[in-house]
Structure 1
Amino acid sequence: MPSRRQFVQQLSLLSIGGIVSPNIGIAQNRTGKIYTVTGAISANDLGVCLTHEHIMSNFGAERSYQPNYDVAALKAQALPYLKHIKSLGVASILDCTTAYFGRDVSLLKELSEESEIHLITNTGYYGAANDRYVPEHAYQETAEQLAERWINEFEQGIDQTGIRPGFIKIAADSGAVSDIDKKLMRAALQTSRATGLTIACHTGDNPAVPKLAQELMDEENVQPSAWIWTHAHQMKTSEELTGAAKAGMWISLDGLRIGGGDTEADQATLDRHLQHLLALKEQRLLSKVLISHDGNSFPRGGAIRPYEGIFTQFIPLLKENGFTKREINQLLVNNPQRAFAILE
């Protein structure tokens, strides 16, 4: 039983972008934990969570395991922004930059400690961008061998740092699923089965990927709740999304990267996310939805891709369209807990 102090804390009000929301349902995963770059935490301590962002990445550069960032420049840009994001009420961020794509777990740990935000890194490989960031050994090894690599990162830590991944990140290109992308999917499922880690699969507007994922899940004996359809907001209609959510998959509407100065494009982005959410809400499927931005604090050679629009623009829009404080809290607090907690 929680102490009276813990009980009061669980009922405290949570400020989300200036909108006060009751912290409902926080105690649902008392035995679950989530691995951050500074160690394991209770799922109850995840707080307001952005489930798909990039603290930094090397998108556009050549594939390299060592990202070779200008650390001083990176910190000068990323750290103040992380502190700003924390001031909006964000407690946790899942960093979706994979190995060979710019992952630097030691630097993530430094940024986490200095910003006081929980940062969660990943294991896995990025198979989109025409497989540009898939390492050569992935073509030679079997899915089982790749899974062994990723399981080892979870069990032993990444690169002798002791830092353990909190989820699996993979990606697939548009069109027919390639052999290498299918191999990454199977390796991810085997890793998930062995570790309990959830899979975030860059999928976008390609319903062939979750369809194949369901077939592979049946073969690998993995539950659909281990799979996140990432970038699902790119679908023009919601039918496939509601179908996947009913089957048990998570639906990630994570393209709310707004505020770049193009107000017409921003409004179209807001409207598409809202329409998908309304369709999912109508089917009573909000419990299977994650929302985020796909922003970047330090993109290669560029300015910050903002990840604050949920708090400055989207939450007010949700409230205008009948979403309650409880439902908003579910999307930003309760659902991430349930999606990424490893139950003991």
Structure 2
Amino acid sequence: MKSKIAYGGFLILNTLFFCVSHAQNDSIATVKGFINAKSLGVSLTHEHVMSNFGKPSDSTSFYDESRLMKQVVPYLKGLKEMGIHSIFDCTTAYFGRRIDLLEKISDASGVHIITNTGFYGSANDRYIPKFAYQLSPAELAETWTNEFFDGIEGTSVHPGFIKLAFDSGEPSEIDQKLVEAGIITHSKTGLTLAIHTGENIQAAYLTLKLLNEKGVLPNAWIWVHANKVTDDKILLEMAKKGAWISLDGVKADNVEGYVQRLSKFKKHDLLHKVLVSHDGNGFPAGGAIRQFDAIPLHLIPALKNSGFTQSEIDQLLIDNPRKAFMPSIKK
């Protein structure tokens, strides 16, 4: 708990110093250390460098490290050659986050990797640790806040965002507790909330309600997997309120649909509230790569053919990720 005594023993002073310092420097945490956010460059905002999603919760931390490195590092090097500079890794604790491996992969590939704090509440709660049910939102938030200030799992690596998730249907008590804890964490750290919400519109409106109750602005929140919502009017409404809309299921065979959706945001002057990514996976439970190269290979050319300017494409892939994830307490 060294961070709690670093500035006169007062966490509030530490919070203010840490957040103001990094806001002034426009810095964001990668697994290799803090960098100026302008150095993020072209960013993929929702990918999994690797994960063990689908495996039993007691085995998600174990990888065949030799196979992992041989498969993932060349792939990320290839992405870098295509112009991808940064990846926001959405694999959480308890379904495959391995800080040590992310450091090695980033070092070997030259790609910036930003990891997360938080717990994953989807998949019928199978990856929520048992102790989370016993803690209050404030106590959970302390766990995640400590990772922000002290580093993750005793390392010098700090999270760059908060990853949470809802199941489908009516939000459960534990899912709501996790989001409440995430909002408290944001209020102490400035970390952005990336919340797997998908087509669960009820959960999206609950998130907005909880943010309002805590006096936190909607731009602290990314609606992850919003591409699964079929009614674009709802997404446009949330974007107008300030939320970030993550259309993160880009594939080679659905690019035209993404061009159409992005054109709607452009028409309504809301392109500045959209993030695009693939939800790919470099090593899904040890299997073949779930590709995350369709944006440079297919989407960018399709956007250009549809009249999107280079400035608008840069906004989607450079400016929006930087603004969405820049740590800043949004009250």
TM over 0.5: yes
CA contact (8 A) 1:36 1:166 kept: yes
Partners of 2:76 and 2:207 lie apart in 1 by 34
Pick from 114, 131, 140 the counterpart of residue 137 of structure 1.
131
1:176, CA displacement in angstroms?
0.8
Report the AA paired with residue 139 of structure 2.
Q
- Asked if residue 304 in structure 1 is aligned to residue 298 in structure 2, the reply is no
- Asked if residue 104 in structure 1 is aligned to residue 98 in structure 2, the reply is yes
Partner of 1:195: 189
CA contact (8 A) 1:169 1:199 kept: yes
How well do the aligned residues superpose, as a CA RMSD in angstroms? 1.4
Indicate the SS of the match to 1:58.
coil
Partners of 2:260 and 2:180 lie apart in 1 by 32
Matches within 5 A, 1:304-343: 304-343=289-328
Partner of 1:40: 34
Partners of 1:59 and 1:343 lie apart in 2 by 30
Report the AA paired with residue 148 of structure 2.
F
Report the AA paired with residue 256 of structure 2.
D
Partner of 2:270: 285
Indicate the SS of the match to 2:113.
strand
What's the TM-score once normalised by structure 2's chain length? Answer: 0.90
Partners of 2:74 and 2:133 lie apart in 1 by 40
Aligned residue pairs, count = 307
Matches within 5 A, 1:233-248: 233-248=227-242
Indicate the SS of the match to 1:302.
coil
Unaligned stretches of 5+ residues in structure 1:
1-28, 259-265
CA contact (8 A) 1:30 1:44 kept: no
Report the AA paired with residue 277 of structure 1.
L
Matches within 5 A, 1:202-221: 202-221=196-215
Report the AA paired with residue 75 of structure 1.
M
1:275, CA displacement in angstroms?
2.5
Give per-residue Cα distances to partners, 1:21-71, cap 9 Å, x unaligned: xxxxxxxx8742110001111111111100000000011101138611111
Indicate the SS of the match to 1:147.
helix
- Asked if residue 115 in structure 1 is aligned to residue 109 in structure 2, the reply is yes
1:223, CA displacement in angstroms?
1.2
- Asked if residue 257 in structure 1 is aligned to residue 251 in structure 2, the reply is yes
Indicate the SS of the match to 1:159.
helix
Partners of 2:49 and 2:74 lie apart in 1 by 12
Partners of 1:327 and 1:183 lie apart in 2 by 37
Structure 1 residue ranges (4+ consecutive) displaced by more than 3 angstroms after TM superposition: none
User: What percentage of aligned pairs have identical amino acids?
Assistant: 50
Partners of 2:37 and 2:78 lie apart in 1 by 23
Partners of 2:115 and 2:94 lie apart in 1 by 13
Report the AA paired with residue 46 of structure 2.
H
Partners of 1:152 and 1:293 lie apart in 2 by 30
Partners of 1:186 and 1:343 lie apart in 2 by 18
Report the AA paired with residue 329 of structure 1.
D
Give per-residue Cα distances to partners, 1:150-199, cap 9 Å, x unaligned: 00000100111111000000010111111111111111111011100001
CA contact (8 A) 1:32 1:343 kept: no
Partner of 2:122: 128
Partner of 1:12: none
Report the AA paired with residue 291 of structure 1.
V
Give per-residue Cα distances to partners, 1:58-85, cap 9 Å, x unaligned: 1110113861111101001101101001
Matches within 5 A, 1:12-27: none
Partner of 1:271: 256
Indicate the SS of the match to 1:153.
helix
Partners of 2:235 and 2:251 lie apart in 1 by 20
Unaligned stretches of 5+ residues in structure 2:
1-22
1:273, CA displacement in angstroms?
1.9
Indicate the SS of the match to 1:342.
coil
Report the AA paired with residue 255 of structure 2.
L
Report the AA paired with residue 42 of structure 2.
V
